[in-house]
Amino acid sequence: MEAVFGLMVVVLLGVSHGIETYCDGRKDGTQCYGALGGTLVLQLMDDATEINSFNWIKNQSNLLRWRSSNSVIILPDNRFFFTPSNGTLRMNNLRRNDGGEYTLSISNENGEISPQRTLHLFIQAPVSSVLLDSECLSEGEMRVSCSSEGGDSPQYNWTLDGRTLTDAELLSGNTETDIITLKQHISGHLVCSVRNNVSHVSSSKRLCTCGFIFINCILSDGTQISTCVFEANNTRCIEPTTSIAIDSSLIICSLKAAVVIILVIGITIFFAWKKKKSKIAEGSADPRTMDHPENSVLMVQM
């Protein structure tokens, strides 16, 4: 018995993926939901060791057989794992074709069969993400859409500041559709929740009246601003100190560059002036050579 279960655990480790759901199938006609690619933990009975034998059947195929000899046979899929001590069946890596009607047939030591129990299993793809998008209409109303990715049979629910939207706030649509239109001057924390029987995802947005935007920042003095402001002349979250710091750094860099340029020009002028002065000094120390030596002779004679 222990060897059989040990082998089954080795084979099935790491098979389970995705979302895990639970269903109590101990009552006849139970409806269970499993996530596509996920795991379903199904409670078939309290304790199988107290039952002589049972068969778990789908479409005339015996998927699970229990006998008083404590032998477990799972056919035809090793994705299933049964624990006799607590009567639970794990169905791993659920597929679309796992959905359908299952029948549990229990018999006692005398071979008498108890009334059969049926179970309906539905496989759904879970909702993976939700995106909120809003646009202003011509009269100041706001249309908001809630788009979900994946998910079978999604159900929508809208709340504003933690409460359900009222007819006084809704121009069209209702809180169970994916698109709503809000009346003028409606603002607040809007949340769209999308769920089905195996998943639940939500997305939120801070909604402001048309023409206004939501700002959320902390100023240098520690003041936190979190409010709706008129978009056209918004200056609330613009930090003057930040721009001044940037301008100061630019000015410092410019001044440094100007000092370097001035030094280079000054050094160049100094050396040019020194060179010129040196040439003048050399010229005054040497006797001047006349271009017309004969003129100098006539001047001496005169």
Return the closest-CA partner of residue 62 out of 9, 103, 101. Answer: 103
Per the CB < 8 A criterion, the answer to whether 215 and 236 are in contact is: yes
pLDDT confidence of 300, banded at 50, 70, 90? very low
What pTM was estimated for this model as a whole? 0.65
Q: Is the pLDDT of residue 20 over 80?
A: yes
Please state, in angstroms and rounded to a whole number, the distance separating the CA atoms of residues 14 and 80.
12
- Every domain range in the chain assigned CATH 2.60.40.10: 2-124, 127-210
Tens of pLDDT along 34-72? Answer: 999 999 999 999 988 888 889 999 988 888 888 877 666
| Phi (first) and psi of residue 289, to 5 degrees | -95, 125
Query: Between these two residues, 298 and 290, which has the higher pLDDT value?
Result: 290
Per the CB < 8 A criterion, the answer to whether 149 and 182 are in contact is: no
Q: Is the pLDDT of residue 3 over 50?
A: no
At the fourth CATH level, the homologous superfamily of domain 127-210 is Immunoglobulins (2.60.40.10)
Q: Is the pLDDT of residue 15 over 70?
A: no
Please state, in angstroms and rounded to a whole number, the distance separating the CA atoms of residues 47 and 84.
6
Q: Which top CATH class is 2-124?
A: mainly beta
Tens of pLDDT along 180-235? Answer: 999 998 899 999 999 999 999 999 989 888 888 787 778 777 777 777 877 777 77
Please state, in angstroms and rounded to a whole number, the distance separating the CA atoms of residues 187 and 87.
52
Mean pLDDT of 150-175: 90
Residues near 161 by beta carbon (within 8 Å), at least 6 away in sequence: 188, 189
Return the closest-CA partner of residue 98 out of 130, 121, 126, 68. Answer: 121
